[in-house]
Amino acid sequence: MSAEEQDAIRRNCRDGRERVTHSEVAQADPGSAFAFVVGGAECGIVRWDWRFREQGWGSVVEQSWQLLRTDPVLGDSGEDIEALRDHMADRAESTLVALAEWIVGHATH
């Protein structure tokens, strides 16, 4: 995987605020796993993981995230972190669709 494929800049909007984040791919195992760290591997804030497994004619996708450290961008209280967790759970489907589109656009033929 090239350095360009390992790093991504993303714009996120929540509660009327926009922030720009840098993410680094931490794992890319086609067909089984994908992970990235918001903030980069060395000073990351959150790690996102997806696991894929075949089931029938489709796939089961499991998504998880791990808070690696606190940061003001996430909020100032436990309630802010819980609100972020709930927001991200609500956005899981659109995140997976965007991830699938990215994978299709970067697939090697």
Instruction: Express each pLDDT in 8-59 by its tens digit.
Output: 555 555 566 666 668 899 999 988 999 989 888 888 988 989 899 999 988 8
Residue 32 has a pLDDT of 92
Average pLDDT on 98-108 reads 77
Residue 67: strand, helix, or coil: strand
Residue 3 has a pLDDT of 44
Residue 5 has a pLDDT of 47
CA distances from 100 to 27, 29, 43, 83, 87 (A): 16, 14, 26, 26, 20
When pLDDT is cut at 50, 70 and 90, the band that residue 108 belongs to is low
Of residues 74 and 28, more confidence is placed in 28
Residue 31: strand, helix, or coil: coil
Cα(8)–Cα(97) distance, rounded to whole angstroms?
A: 17
Residue 68 in contact with residue 47, Cβ under 8 Å? yes
Residue 6 has pLDDT above 70, yes or no: no
Cα(30)–Cα(66) distance, rounded to whole angstroms?
A: 21
Residue 4 has a pLDDT of 45
